[in-house]
Amino acid sequence: MSSAIAPAALNDFGKQHVTNGLGRITEGVITKGNGSYVEYLDGKKMLDFTCGIGVTNLGHCHPKVSKAAADQCMNIVHAQCSIAFHEPYLRLIEKLLPAMPHPSLDSFFFWNSGSEAVEGAIKMARALTGRQNIISMQGAYHGRTFGAMAVTKSKTIYSDGVAPLMPGVFSIPFPFWHQHGLPPSAPDSVLTLQSLYQLDLLLSQQTSPQDTAAIIVEPVLGEGGYVPAPKEFLEGLRSICDQHGILLIADEVQSGFGRTGNWFFIEESGVKPDILLMAKGLANGFPLSGVVSRKELTDKLKPGSLGGTYAGNAVSCAAACAVADAFREENIMANVQARSRELFAFLTELKDDQTLASYILDVRGRGLMVAMEFASSEAPGAAFDPTTPKGLTVKKGMASRVAKKCIEKGMLLLTTSVYEVVRFIPPLNISQEDMKKGCDIFAQSVREVVREN
């Protein structure tokens, strides 16, 4: 690439000219990615436990995926979806059909981002039911566009100062112990009852069933703290939706595509969503999202009501076909299970360590979508929460201090939620050796932060 700015000056150039609306967790310029590692312009190499926020599930630049995309680039790049079908689009559907959590999910629309998929689902739900209101979950993250932002309830930063948002949105607590003022040990059955009770009340007091188009749920609450929904809760949502003709939208943008050890987490519950959303890992880094529903429903949509210039791009679809093949050929799900067992064993041992016990509240997740939550007396609602540990003197921001230490030691790690949570989303094909390396860096970082407290 020929240019006038010296490589060493690029970071400062970025700070000068890239919008301040973007936040970043590291300084520097990434130049390369290979498997579980990324490299920076200054030569720094980092173990990537973020996967670009749950995207590069097969590692960076997986050779089969990159080759499929490169080959497609020499064939056709932009075969616009409202002009004609293109082959990678249809081949992708052929490969995804057997991975659907229910055979009724047989009608596909591909877009670019997760937020767009959420917008598409809301639009479909309103058009198909003739109703306006949408119920989402407290703690949910669905994206940054206006409809997606309206159903997002994880942090106020996403919509601070930009109201009015899309109207007609209501929310109920997710079956997450924090949201009910219960301890981490609260059983799923109790959490489920509390959340379904609130849903029942909501449908009687705030949005009547005949005005409610859809309930949107992340089967694993992502940005809200990495909390898998109990099977009973998803079953309860299904049953209430069936009772009232409300559509159930499962947003598996983050939890889908092998992340939890199944193609989609909702598979574990046996619950059938009316609309399933996917993105992120679907094309391992190429922009692609999917909105999947039943043909019987989508046949009612007016042609032209869905679309988008780049929707279902041919290069992204070709990459996604290679992702689906690689999952099957390389037995990725078995690796997820094996590495997940190691990660949980390691985190549980850390939690049980007497010198750390008062600092660690919870270890949770599924597959390789795993979180550790640290104790904090300053968490939102702590003053009113009977489960807040008494006499605790942990300094604020333990999760971000731990993540920062990990970065200093050569590993990228993200925090999540309004609580003190770090999230582990390593590549699904990570080696045993790199998993151990990541765990060692994490343990050292936690111990150092506790010592410095």
CB of 370 to ligand PLP, least distance (A): 15
Among 234, 253, 291, 318, binds ligand PLP (CB under 6 A): 253
Query: Closest CB to ligand PLP among 115 and 284?
Result: 115
Q: Is 209 helix (H, G, I), strand (E, B) or coil?
A: helix
What is the Cα–Cα distance from 447 to 325, expressed in whole angstroms?
A: 41
What is the Cα–Cα distance from 195 to 286, expressed in whole angstroms?
A: 36
Q: Does 143 bind ligand PLP (CB under 6 A)?
A: yes
Residue 374: other Cβ atoms inside 10 A:
24
Q: Does 153 bind ligand PLP (CB under 6 A)?
A: no
Structure tokens of 64? Answer: 């089969």
Using CB under 6 A, which residues numbered 221 to 240 contact ligand PLP? 222
Q: Which residue is nearest to ligand PLP (CB)?
A: 114
Angle made by CA atoms 92, 96, 101, in degrees to the nearest 5: 160
Per-residue interface string for the shown chain with ligand PLP, residues 55-84, x marking contact by CB under 6 A? ------------------------------
Residue 358: other Cβ atoms inside 10 A:
14
Query: Closest CB to ligand PLP among 139 and 261?
Result: 139
Using CB under 6 A, which residues numbered 345 to 384 contact ligand PLP? none
The number of helix segments (H) and strand segments (E) in the chain equals 13, 17
What is the Cα–Cα distance from 225 to 275, expressed in whole angstroms?
A: 23
Q: What is the largest CA-CA distance in the chain?
A: 65
Q: For ligand PLP, how many residues bind (rule: CB under 6 A)? A: 14
Strand partners, 369: 366
Among 48, 119, 218, 420, binds ligand PLP (CB under 6 A): 218
How does strand 169-172 pair with strand 133-137? parallel
Q: Does 254 bind ligand PLP (CB under 6 A)?
A: yes
Q: Does 142 bind ligand PLP (CB under 6 A)?
A: yes
Q: Does 251 bind ligand PLP (CB under 6 A)?
A: yes
Q: Does 180 bind ligand PLP (CB under 6 A)?
A: no
Strand partners, 412: 48
How does strand 45-48 pair with strand 411-412? parallel
Per-residue interface string for the shown chain with ligand PLP, residues 93-122, x marking contact by CB under 6 A? --------------------xxx--x----
Query: Closest CB to ligand PLP among 158 and 177?
Result: 158
Interacting residues toward ligand PLP by CB under 6 A: 53, 113-115, 118, 141-143, 218, 222, 251, 253-254, 279
